[in-house]
């Protein structure tokens, strides 16, 4: 109650200041009057009485000031006045204000954007209730021998293991299973045209256990899982892009690989699945149909729902509150051990131990390990930019405040305390930083969107409260540093000195001119470190871009197919022969071929084959081979040179004699005499033997930066079972212009067939070093900002110093100094500073470059060219920033300079 | 020493004002005169600390202020003790005499 009254009364004096003042005046006036009347009764004249009262009680204004400062509102009032005054001072020098705010905005915005990436990838929990209780289940020792697993060996479990573990209600309040319908996207049809989308099959408790909320409709129930119900839940983003957020989406039918599903719900905004590196578009309950196998595997007894032989489903559990991870694992272990052996017969006592483990759900699965180091380096780089920006702004402030030394001296002489001046400069720097942070936040919003786009991530980098806190923290520390640094200089000047001397020769001491040089030198040193870092990354990128790929990469279009309605090898061979024949007829298509593993996609097929029936001996690194299924005209279409023998042709069918092409590395390693042709390569059974009919040039397979491996190219129909194939088309025109005609051809074959991930082969290869490109681009960006900041900082400092030395230069010139000597006077200073910066910066840069080793490609951390370029860059900046002030110094007219004094 | 007005013991001004107002409603000058008289000139208030204390007490709702005409036809702000103020005065008085007795006991012991 009294607090409330205190506040209302305080607010009243703030907002009805005049009335409150008048009342106080009246009350105090009355008090004086009464006291005076009292004195007059004792015989004083009125004038004497009033004077005596004032002598005793102090002046009316003084008393008013005391009373007014008693309430909390007076603090607000002075703060407000400080703010108004600071704003007025900043408005008076708009150039300074704008430059300072923009500089800060760049620094703060850059840091915020990079931190938002770090937050999303490394720190943030899934946007679900109590996310700390969620754990991923892991298999650090891989699944038992004798079962097949997925590419995610350390996180894929079997159905029996899931069924056994989900009953452990003392450990998990819920255990959820999810398994993708395909490695990537799956064929989907909504209405007329086929397309593709990313879908998972999940257990019935998936949504309820995670605590996902729904925008529309409902999630799954356990009955949906046991009945393998034909219902589907859409993600918010898929609902948005595909259905335009129409409420009528509920109840519609979606054909997944031709099987109809009814939409029953849409998840809440912000939920992208539990592994949000790429967002999941829809979820269906676990299915037992042969069309809908986990990971789109060929249906067989060992790949259907419920099999113990295929470890394919991934698990995420919600721990019962109060159960620690180690307690949980101890309780689960016996259950897991027996469930892991279901269906595997008697266990081999020497077999490796099966281990169950948990991993945190913080950050993004799969990206955390991959991006941790680069993000930290990036954060360090952008931190350097902020340091340079801060140094710039504080130098600006120092320069500005030392010209204000007179103002400060006058105010101190008039009785302002140092505390009052301190508060004033602090308020000004807070205003500057607040403006900078506001601009910076806007930068960060667009910056983080750009980062998301560049890095190819499908989820947005959210600027949440943690990021906001980070921004506020760095901004406030900036503000405090800025506020204190310049003031120390300004108030340490003795009042008398400043008031007596003229502006031009205003107080200068050796120490302060030193500290300016030190700041500029350290800025340049930081800039050098940044430039070395960007130089190394850019040279790595050049190496990626100019690496010979071993094939003619331009003019190629690649896309995937998934003929899910075609099953037998016979049908499949026919389907692809038909497809190739139709595509060759399409306009602008020069030639067409097939590959099972798309080049440059990072996926590959690695194994060991026998040569002439004998398995080569040695470590896998030496005898391991890559292989690919390829179509007719493979070398011709891709532009790979044939060294000996022939290309794959239309005649290499399933019934024709089995043949294989090998690459040059294969030939050199296993047939050093160059007589590979005619030998045989095989696997397991004698009838699985292929005759080498061609030796072709080495070309890049999985990614740009791989080493050449012995590689085999099998005609696609001869090495069964025939997998789904990717199509490569060569054209004279723009490859992407072929996409519509490809659509038409596919539609003619089967209206349910989508065209999967069509892109140029060049773009596909570029993707294999997209991370390197992203970081190279960003580091160039940061490097350029650093150079600009350092250049403006150095220019500002030098210009300011030349300005102050005008009279000195005038005297020198009057005494006969030549232009060259004056020029040297100024240049020498900046060269000395650069020299010091280089001496300090090179060791730091060497250390920094070592930390970046893992991000470099084909460049050593000590790369001379990068260092020389960076040194050259720094010196160039120093010279460029000195030229204008130096020329101004040369033009000083001795007479004018002296008269000015 | 006896002639010179002495400084108030820290924190007692509020209690003295409340006590003064417990007798009858009064304006600021009246309060200061009354305190001076009752203390026989030992305590003399300056206007600044008096009105600061009044503002504080009023915000805490221990006293209420009201503009009223004075005897010579001007107006002054008269303060009355609220119920809450009376309670506060009682508790502060009790606390004060407890402390005074205790201090006296210490000083007399030897």
**A375-384, A888-897, B56-65: which has the minimum mean pLDDT?**
A888-897
Q: Taking CA atoms, what residue in B is nearest to A67? A: B52
> What residues have CB less than 8 Å from A242, skipping those under 6 apart?
A190, A197, A234, A281
Q: Which residues of A touch B48 (CB under 8 A)?
A: 57-58, 62-63, 66-67
3-state secondary structure of A691: strand
Per-residue buried b or exposed e for A82-91, using 16+ beta carbons within 10 Å of the residue's own CB: beeebeebbe
Residue A692: what pLDDT?
94
Residue A506: what pLDDT?
44
B47·A63 Cβ contact <8 A: yes
> How many of the other CB atoms lie within 10 Å of CB of A102?
18
Residue A420: what pLDDT?
73
Q: Which residues of B touch A27 (CB under 8 A)?
A: 28, 51, 76-77
Q: Which residue has the tokens 């309670």?
A: B87
Q: How confident is the model at residue A697 (pLDDT cuts 50, 70, 90)?
A: very high
Query: ipTM, 2 decimals?
Result: 0.82
- Residues of chain A with pLDDT > 70, as a percent, come to 93
Residue A253: what pLDDT?
93
Residue B1: what pLDDT?
36
Cβ(A187)–Cβ(A256) below 8 Å: yes
B61·A5 Cβ contact <8 A: yes
Q: Tell me the mean pLDDT in the region A374-393.
A: 86
Task: Give the gap in angstroms from C-alpha B51 to the nearest C-alpha of chain A.
Answer: 6
Cβ(A314)–Cβ(A177) below 8 Å: yes
Candidates A57, A59, A72: best to mutate against B (most CBs of B within 10 A) is: A57
Q: Taking CA atoms, what residue in A is nearest to B60? A: A2
> What DSSP line would sit under A2-33, residue for residue?
HHHHHHHHHHHHHHTHHHHHHHHHHHHHHHHH
Cβ(A126)–Cβ(A134) below 8 Å: yes
B46·A56 Cβ contact <8 A: yes
A66·B49 Cβ contact <8 A: yes
A66·B77 Cβ contact <8 A: no
**A56-65, A81-90, A589-598, B99-108: which has the minimum mean pLDDT?**
A56-65
B48·A63 Cβ contact <8 A: yes
Tens digits of residue pLDDT in A152-202: 778 889 999 999 999 999 999 999 999 998 877 888 888 877 888 999 999
Q: Which residues of B touch A38 (CB under 8 A)?
A: 33
Higher pLDDT, A210 or A898: A210
At what angle are helices B28-38 and A17-41 packed, to 10 degrees?
Answer: 40
Residue A629: what pLDDT?
93
B59·A2 Cβ contact <8 A: yes
Candidates A3, A28, A34: best to mutate against B (most CBs of B within 10 A) is: A34
In SS3 terms, A165-230 reads as HHCCCCCEEEEEEEEECCCCCEEEECCCCEEEECEEEECCCHHHHHCCCEEEECCCCHHHHHCCCC
Domain assignment present for residue B61? The answer is: yes
Q: Which residues of B touch A37 (CB under 8 A)?
A: 72
Q: How confident is the model at residue A644 (pLDDT cuts 50, 70, 90)?
A: very high
Size of interface A-B (CB pairs under 8 A): 68
- Residues of chain A with pLDDT > 90, as a percent, come to 30
Higher pLDDT, A852 or A267: A267
Q: Where are the domains of chain A?
A: 2-71, 131-360, 372-545+770-900, 562-754
Burial class (CB within 10 angstroms; exposed 0-12, middle 13-18, buried 19+) of A685? exposed
Residue A511: what pLDDT?
52
Residue A504: what pLDDT?
41
Cβ(B55)–Cβ(A71) below 8 Å: yes
Candidates A23, A70, A72: best to mutate against B (most CBs of B within 10 A) is: A70
Residue B8: what pLDDT?
66
What are the distances in angstroms from CA B36 to CA A50, A56, B30, B48, B96? 19, 14, 10, 16, 20
Q: How high does pLDDT run on average in chain A?
A: 84
Identify which of B29, B56, B77 has the shortest CB distance to residue A70.
B56
> What residues have CB less than 8 Å from A876, skipping those under 6 apart?
none
Q: How confident is the model at residue A887 (pLDDT cuts 50, 70, 90)?
A: confident
Chain B interface residues (partner A, CB cutoff 8 A): 27-29, 32-33, 46-49, 51-52, 55-56, 58-61, 70, 72, 74-77
Residue B2: what pLDDT?
40
Identify which of A5, A57, A70 has the shortest CB distance to residue B52.
A70
Identify which of B33, B52, B75 has the shortest CB distance to residue A67.
B52
A30·B70 Cβ contact <8 A: yes
Q: Tell me the mean pLDDT in the region A719-737.
A: 90
Cβ(A425)–Cβ(A433) below 8 Å: no
CATH number, domain of B22, equals 1.10.10.10
Q: Taking CA atoms, what residue in A is nearest to B62? A: A2
CA-closest candidate to residue A205, choices A178, A235, A231: A178
Tens digits of residue pLDDT in A701-712: 988 888 888 999
Q: Please say if the pLDDT value at position A754 is more than 90.
A: no
Q: Taking CA atoms, what residue in A is nearest to B29? A: A31
Q: Tell me the mean pLDDT in the region A462-481.
A: 83
Enter the tokens of residue A53. Answer: 């009262």
3-state secondary structure of A738: helix
**A80-84, A774-778, B62-66: which has the minimum mean pLDDT?**
A774-778
Q: Taking CA atoms, what residue in A is nearest to B77? A: A27
Per-residue buried b or exposed e for A410-434, using 16+ beta carbons within 10 Å of the residue's own CB: ebbeeeeeeeebebbbbbbbbbbbe
B47·A27 Cβ contact <8 A: no
Residue A805: what pLDDT?
78
- H/E stretch holding A644 reads strand A642-645
Tens digits of residue pLDDT in A318-362: 999 989 999 999 999 999 988 888 877 776 777 778 889 998 888
Q: Which residues of A touch B32 (CB under 8 A)?
A: 31
Residue A494: what pLDDT?
55
Phi, psi of A672 (to 5 degrees): -60, -20
Q: Please say if the pLDDT value at position A727 is more than 70.
A: yes
A67·B58 Cβ contact <8 A: no
Q: Which residues of A touch B70 (CB under 8 A)?
A: 30
Q: Please say if the pLDDT value at position B9 is more than 70.
A: no
Distance CA A151, CA B83 (A): 80
Distance CA A365, CA A120 (A): 11
Q: Please say if the pLDDT value at position A428 is more than 70.
A: yes
Identify which of A2, A38, A58 has the shortest CB distance to residue B47.
A58
Please report the sign of the dihedral spanned by the C-alpha atoms of residue A604, residue A606, residue A611, residue A616: positive
Tens digits of residue pLDDT in A455-464: 666 666 777 8
Residue A488: what pLDDT?
61
Q: Please say if the pLDDT value at position A379 is more than 60.
A: yes
Q: Taking CA atoms, what residue in B is nearest to A5? A: B59
A67·B51 Cβ contact <8 A: yes
> What residues have CB less than 8 Å from A41, skipping those under 6 apart?
none
Domain assignment present for residue B4? The answer is: no
Cβ(A391)–Cβ(A522) below 8 Å: yes
- H/E stretch holding A330 reads helix A325-340
Candidates B5, B44, B48: best to mutate against A (most CBs of A within 10 A) is: B48
Q: Which residues of A touch B41 (CB under 8 A)?
A: none
Tens digits of residue pLDDT in A581-599: 999 999 899 999 999 999 9
Tens digits of residue pLDDT in A523-569: 889 889 989 988 998 898 888 888 889 999 999 999 998 887 887 88
Task: Give the gyration radius of chain A's Cα atoms.
Answer: 38
Count of the separate structural domains present in chain B: 1
> What DSSP line would sit under A245-310, residue for residue?
T-GGGTT-EEEETTEEEEEEEEEPTT---SSTTS---EEEE----TTS-GGGPPPSTTTSTT-SSE
> What DSSP line would sit under A332-365, residue for residue?
HHHHHHHHHTTTS-SPPTTSPPP--EEEE-SS-T
Tens digits of residue pLDDT in A851-877: 888 888 888 888 889 999 999 988 888
Residue A492: what pLDDT?
58
Distance CA A428, CA A662 (A): 72
A62·B48 Cβ contact <8 A: yes
A28·B56 Cβ contact <8 A: no
Question: Which domain does B53 fall in, by range?
Answer: 13-108
Residue B47: what pLDDT?
81
Q: Taking CA atoms, what residue in B is nearest to A20? A: B55
Q: Which residues of A touch B74 (CB under 8 A)?
A: 30, 33
Q: How confident is the model at residue A787 (pLDDT cuts 50, 70, 90)?
A: confident
């Amino acid at each position: 109650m009294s607090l409330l009254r205190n506040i209302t009364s305080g607010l009243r004096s703030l907002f009805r200041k005049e009335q409150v003042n008048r009342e106080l005046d009246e009350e105090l006036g009355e008090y004086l009057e009464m006291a005076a009347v009292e004195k007059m009764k004792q015989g004083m004249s009125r004038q004497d009485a009033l004077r005596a009262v004032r002598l005793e009680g102090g002046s009316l204004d003084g008393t008013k000031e005391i009373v007014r400062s008693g309430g909390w509102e007076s603090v607000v009032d002075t703060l407000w006045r400080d703010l108004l005054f600071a704003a007025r001072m900043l408005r008076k020098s708009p150039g300074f204000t704008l430059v300072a705010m923009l500089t800060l905005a760049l620094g703060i915005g850059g840091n915020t954007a990079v931190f938002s990436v770090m937050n999303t990838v490394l720190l943030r929990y899934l946007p679900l209730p109590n996310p700390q209780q969620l754990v991923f289940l892991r298999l650090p020792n891989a699944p038992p021998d004798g079962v097949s697993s997925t590419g995610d060996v350390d996180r894929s479990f079997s159905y029996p293991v899931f069924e056994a573990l989900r009953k452990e209600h003392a450990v998990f309040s819920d255990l959820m299973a999810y398994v993708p319908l395909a490695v990537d996207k799956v064929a989907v049809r909504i209405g007329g045209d086929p397309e593709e989308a990313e879908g998972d099959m999940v257990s019935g408790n998936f949504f309820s256990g995670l605590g996902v909320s729904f925008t529309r409709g409902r999630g799954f129930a356990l009955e949906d899982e046991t009945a393998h119900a034909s219902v589907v839940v859409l993600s918010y983003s898929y609902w948005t892009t595909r259905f335009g957020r129409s409420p009528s989406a509920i109840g519609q039918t979606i054909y997944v690989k031709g099987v109809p599903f009814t939409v029953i719900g849409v998840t809440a905004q912000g939920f992208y699945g539990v592994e949000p590196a790429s967002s999941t578009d829809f979820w269906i309950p676990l299915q037992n149909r042969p069309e809908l196998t986990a990971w789109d595997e060929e249906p067989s007894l060992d790949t259907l729902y419920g099999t113990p032989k295929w470890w394919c489903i991934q698990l995420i559990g919600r721990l019962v509150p109060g159960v620690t991870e180690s307690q949980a694992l101890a309780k689960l272990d016996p259950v897991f051990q027996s469930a892991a052996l279901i269906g595997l017969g008697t266990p081999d006592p020497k077999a490796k131990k099966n281990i169950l483990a948990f991993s945190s759900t913080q950050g993004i699965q799969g990206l955390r390990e991959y991006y941790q180091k680069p993000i930290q380096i990036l954060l360090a780089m952008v931190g350097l930019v902020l340091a340079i920006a801060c140094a710039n702004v504080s130098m600006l402030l120092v320069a500005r405040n030392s010209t204000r030394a007179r103002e400060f001296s006058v105010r101190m002489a008039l009785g302002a305390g140092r505390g009052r001046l301190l508060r004033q400069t602090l308020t000004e720097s807070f205003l500057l930083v607040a403006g900078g942070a506001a601009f910076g936040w806007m930068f960060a919003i667009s910056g983080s969107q750009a980062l998301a786009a560049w890095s190819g991530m499908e989820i947005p980098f959210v600027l949440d409260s943690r990021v906001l806190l980070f921004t506020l923290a760095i901004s406030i520390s900036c503000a405090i540093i800025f506020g204190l640094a310049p003031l120390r200089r300004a108030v340490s000047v003795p009042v008398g000195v400043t008031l007596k001397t003229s502006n031009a020769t205003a107080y200068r001491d050796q120490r302060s001119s030193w500290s300016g040089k030190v700041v500029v030198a350290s800025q340049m040193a930081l800039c050098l470190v940044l430039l070395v870092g960007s130089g190394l990354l850019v040279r790595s990128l050049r190496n990626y871009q100019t690496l010979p790929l071993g094939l003619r990469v331009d003019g190629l279009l690649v896309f995937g197919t998934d003929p899910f309605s075609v099953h037998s090898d016979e049908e499949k061979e026919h389907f692809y022969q038909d497809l190739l024949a139709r595509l060759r007829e399409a306009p602008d298509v020069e030639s067409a071929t097939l590959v099972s593993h798309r080049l440059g996609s990072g996926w590959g097929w690695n194994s060991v084959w026998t040569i002439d029936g004998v398995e080569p001996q040695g470590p896998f690194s030496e005898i391991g081979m890559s292989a690919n299924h390829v179509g007719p005209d493979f070398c011709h279409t891709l532009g790979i040179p044939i060294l000996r023998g022939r290309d794959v042709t239309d005649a290499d069918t399933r019934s024709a004699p089995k043949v294989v092409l090998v690459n040059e590395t294969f030939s050199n390693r296993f047939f050093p005499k160059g007589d590979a042709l005619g030998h045989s390569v095989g696997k397991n059974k004698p009838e699985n033997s292929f005759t080498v009919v061609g030796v072709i040039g080495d070309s890049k397979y999985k990614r740009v930066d791989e080493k050449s491996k012995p590689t085999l190219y099998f005609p696609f129909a001869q090495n069964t079972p025939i997998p789904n194939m990717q199509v490569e088309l060569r054209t004279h025109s723009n490859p992407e212009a072929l996409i519509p005609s490809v659509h038409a051809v596919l539609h003619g074959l089967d209206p349910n067939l989508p065209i999967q991930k069509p892109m140029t082969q060049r773009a596909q290869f570029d993707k294999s070093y997209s991370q390197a490109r992203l970081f190279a681009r960003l580091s160039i960006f940061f490097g350029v900002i650093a150079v600009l900041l350092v250049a403006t900082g150095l220019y500002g400092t030098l210009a300011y110093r030349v300005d102050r030395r005008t009279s000195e230069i005038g005297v020198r010139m009057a005494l006969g100094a030549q232009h060259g000597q004056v020029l040297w006077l100024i240049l020498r200073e900046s060269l000395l500073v650069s020299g010091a910066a280089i001496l300090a910066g090179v060791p730091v840069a060497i250390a920094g470059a070592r930390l970046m080793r893992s991000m470099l490609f084909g460049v050593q951390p000590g790369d001379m060219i990068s260092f020389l370029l960076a040194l050259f860059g720094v010196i160039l900046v120093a010279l460029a920033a000195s030229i204008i002030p130096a020329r101004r110094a040369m033009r000083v007219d001795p007479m004018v300079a002296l008269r000015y004094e | 020493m006896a002639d010179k007005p002495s400084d108030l013991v820290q924190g007692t001004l509020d209690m003295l004002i409340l006590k003064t107002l417990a007798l009858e409603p009064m304006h600021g000058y009246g309060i200061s005169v009354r305190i001076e008289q009752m203390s026989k000139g030992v305590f003399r208030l300056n206007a600044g600390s008096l009105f600061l204390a009044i503002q504080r007490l009023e915000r805490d709702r221990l006293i209420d202020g009201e503009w009223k005409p004075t005897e010579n036809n001007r107006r002054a702000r008269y303060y009355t003790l609220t119920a809450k103020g009376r309670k506060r005065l009682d508790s502060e008085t009790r606390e004060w005499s407890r402390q005074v007795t205790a201090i006296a006991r210490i000083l007399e012991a030897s």
